[in-house]
Structure 1
Amino acid sequence: MDKRIKIMLFSIVSIVLLIIVIAVTPEIVKYMDENRAVAIVNGEKITKKEFAINYKSQINYYGLDKAFLSQKVGDKTYEQQIKEDILDSLILRQIELQQARKRNITLTSAEKKAIDQQIEQYKSDSQSGAEFKQYLQTIGATENDFKDQVIKSQIISKLYDEVTKSQKASDAEIESYYNSHKSDFVEVKASHILFKVNDSKEETAKKKKAEEVLQMIKSGQSFEKLAQKYSEDETTKQKGGDLGYFRKGQMVKEFEDAAFSLNIGEVSNVVKTSYGFHIIKVADKKQLSLNDVKDEIKSTVESQKKDEYYKSLIEKWKKEAKIKKFENVLKSVSI
């Protein structure tokens, strides 16, 4: 081959290679930057990209902006504090994933398939699909990044179940819990007459009407008949306002406080809640027995024991872990 032709071909190849390098350089630089470590946990890297996805996800969830993030909380800005909290949570997650790996805890093919199906179902809906796509763009994540987050979350859930399965509630613990929480296991059977307040302009008139109906009750008129006539709770009015039995925590606080303070047969004064104004009558009140609530207490006690035990394991794992943070990389992440 002629020397000049060789030189020409070499030049062409060089130019093509240069064009390719120029074209891919931004992607290479981006890849290298995203894969820098914000922390190393027992020799495993938490990448800048993974941190940024979690950081932007939280910023997006709470609708925070740069003005808010720049404000001070103590000797730090909100941005610094949020970043530190998220990094700590990712470090903890990495430790948990490492502990899961030691115990050969993974997702089954069926569990992974269920995640895929859930994502596909989400994407197939026109509204949620568009929202999902926008969400991924906002936090700088791909669909695979999102899937990876879900998988990790489920593996940690399985780790929790595995290491805490021995934490059981004894009969003595169940009985002790019952005896120290007896007031939580009281049921009240009550009826009410509701005067709904949909607008603040209605408040004065509705309260006045409630007071008038209360006077009718005090004068001896039937609570049940007045409920059928005046109550604006369409679900209960035809039953004379009967709400059935309920326990603490099932009604709004103002209603609950009034109902549990009444004796059987007593009628409350007018009670204001977020729904409007109520007149309440207690028909029955009873203490549930230990046998009535034994399964519920067992679940509560075991849940508490599992949480406490898992927390102690977390503290142990953290103390044993070798952790290195890279503050300069953390600072380079922005919204």
Structure 2
Amino acid sequence: MTQKTKIAIFASVVVVLLIILIAVTPEIVKYIDENRAVAIVNGEKITKKEFSINYKSQIDYYGLDKAFLAQKVGSKTYEEQIKENVLDGLIVRQIELQQAKKRNIILTAQEKKAIEDQINQYKNDPQNGLQFKQYLQTIGATEDEYKDQIIKSQIVSKLFNELTKNQTASMFEIESYYNSHKTDYIKVKASHILFKVSDSKEETTKKKKAEEVLQMIKNGQNFEKLAKKYSEDENTKQKGGDLGYFRKGEMVKEFEDVAFSLGIGEISGIVKTSYGFHIIKVTDRKQLALNDVKDEIKSTIETQKKQQYFQSLIEKWKKEAKIKKFENVLKSVSI
């Protein structure tokens, strides 16, 4: 092989390599950029890509746009505030994952498979598949990156469960809670006559009709018979408007505020809710016994104790952690 041939071959190889390099350079640049650190927590990096996925997830969840994000709340824009909140959340999660690693808390193969099966089921669903694909595009995540976020969340859940398993409620705590929250454990039985409003143009007419029926009740006509005749609640009208027993939090607020303020046999005025206009009659009221709600109270107390205890651990871990944030990288993320 002559010297000229060697030079020609070498030149050809260089040209090919340059062509390949030019072709892949944008991908290399993108990879390097996405792997820059927005924060380092105890020597471990939170990448710009991971931050971007979580930030865009928040933006998508609340349906925010650039115009809203540009508005100011105090001295910062909503965009700056949300970015700070998301980053702080990721820093806490990184600390939690490090604590889980110290305790050898991981997901089993079966637990990981359950996540994959759930993703595949959603992805292959005729109705939800396209929506899932569009969501991944919106947040800028691959399927594997999305799965990784779920795995991390479940590891944190396992850490929480492990460290808080001894936070239990005693019978004394349950009784004390019940005695100081007795009004939360009342249920009323009520009936109503509903005049549905599906369009604002109907409001005046429907309210007038409700007032006419209320006057009939005041004049001594039977509530249950009027409910059967005039109520537009198809589920209860044939029962004289009977809704059965319910507790606070089970009805829309405007309705329950009035219902729980009435005594047995009392009838309300006109009550407006998102459903329309109601006339309410309370037919019974009961104080639930401790034994009826003991398990519910136990769960409430234990949930509170677990959350408080775990939060105290997080605060301790944060104080001990070495955290460095990179504001310039944070600013470079946009929707």
Amino acid at match of 2:211: E
After superposition, give the CA deviation of every residue in 1:251-305 in whole Å (9 maximum; x if it has no partner).
1122112111211112222212111111111111111111111111001011111
Please list, as runs of the form range in 1=range in 2, the aligned pairs for 1:7-156 lying within 5 A after superposition: 7-156=7-156
| Distance in structure 1 (CA, Å) of the matches to 2:76 and 2:217 | 60
What is the SS of the residue equivalent to 2:283? Answer: strand
Counterpart residue number, 2:302: 302
Gaps of 5+ in 2: none
| Distance in structure 2 (CA, Å) of the matches to 1:261 and 1:57 | 42
| Distance in structure 2 (CA, Å) of the matches to 1:243 and 1:140 | 48
Counterpart residue number, 1:291: 291
| Distance in structure 1 (CA, Å) of the matches to 2:112 and 2:269 | 56
Shift of 1:189: 0.8
Amino acid at match of 2:165: K
After superposition, give the CA deviation of every residue in 1:62-107 in whole Å (9 maximum; x if it has no partner).
3333333233222222222221111111101100111111111111
Amino acid at match of 1:321: A
Please list, as runs of the form range in 1=range in 2, the aligned pairs for 1:182-201 lying within 5 A after superposition: 182-201=182-201
Counterpart residue number, 2:226: 226
Say if 2:281 is the partner of 1:261: no
Cα RMSD of the aligned pairs, angstroms, is 1.3
Gaps of 5+ in 1: none
| Distance in structure 2 (CA, Å) of the matches to 1:183 and 1:71 | 42
| Distance in structure 2 (CA, Å) of the matches to 1:263 and 1:70 | 51
Amino acid at match of 1:129: G
Counterpart residue number, 1:239: 239
| Distance in structure 2 (CA, Å) of the matches to 1:333 and 1:207 | 52
Counterpart residue number, 2:313: 313
Question: TM-score if structure 1 supplies the norm length?
Answer: 0.96
Counterpart residue number, 1:279: 279
Given the superposition, is the C-alpha separation of residues 242 and 53 from structure 1 closer, same or farther in structure 2, using an over 3 Å criterion?
same
Question: TM-score if structure 2 supplies the norm length?
Answer: 0.96
Counterpart residue number, 1:333: 333
Structure 1 residues 5-14 or 238-247, which shifts more? 5-14
After superposition, give the CA deviation of every residue in 1:108-156 in whole Å (9 maximum; x if it has no partner).
2121111111111111123422122122122221111111111111111
Poorly superposed stretches of 4+, deviation over 3 Å: none
What is the SS of the residue equivalent to 2:303? Answer: helix
Counterpart residue number, 2:324: 324
| Distance in structure 2 (CA, Å) of the matches to 1:78 and 1:206 | 42
| Distance in structure 1 (CA, Å) of the matches to 2:75 and 2:212 | 57
Shift of 1:237: 0.8
What is the SS of the residue equivalent to 2:122? Answer: helix
What is the SS of the residue equivalent to 1:39? Answer: strand
Overall identity of the aligned pairs, in %: 79
| Distance in structure 2 (CA, Å) of the matches to 1:279 and 1:64 | 39
Given the superposition, is the C-alpha separation of residues 281 and 110 from structure 1 closer, same or farther in structure 2, using an over 3 Å criterion?
same
| Distance in structure 2 (CA, Å) of the matches to 1:237 and 1:272 | 18
After superposition, give the CA deviation of every residue in 1:209-249 in whole Å (9 maximum; x if it has no partner).
11222222222222111111111110011111111111111
Shift of 1:16: 1.4
Counterpart residue number, 2:209: 209
Shift of 1:193: 0.9
